[in-house]
A = this chain, B = another copy of it.
């Protein structure tokens, strides 16, 4: 059984909220990991991000990412399956996500994203 959580429509996604969301290193790491899996069209679960932060902190960040329009979350039973809203973001802000991801990848070490990449690659 699947129940739906509130998400902004594509048109409701706002630039300031997206930039604010991406300005937090933990959320940026989550987005980098989701982007890595996105190419394989794989959804991720909350537990896949445990190396990044504590559970309640992650829950807060997941909600921010969903509410800003960066991430789609499906609830299936007790699991939450998450993926990046790449098409919606590209339609609203062409080139922005790729520019942020490329910059984050270049600065991965000083942003302390190294650990995230390991998690993403497993």
Contact = CB atoms under 8 A, between A and B. Distances in A.
Contacts of A14: 107, 110-111
Nearest to A100: B96
A22 B19 contact: yes
Question: Nearest 4 A-B pairs (CB), nearest first?
Answer: A20-B23, A19-B23, A93-B103, A95-B99
Give the interface residue-count category, chain A: 20 to 34
B23 A111 contact: no
A98 B24 CA distance: 21
A114 to B, nearest CB: 15
Contacts of A120: none
A16 interface: yes
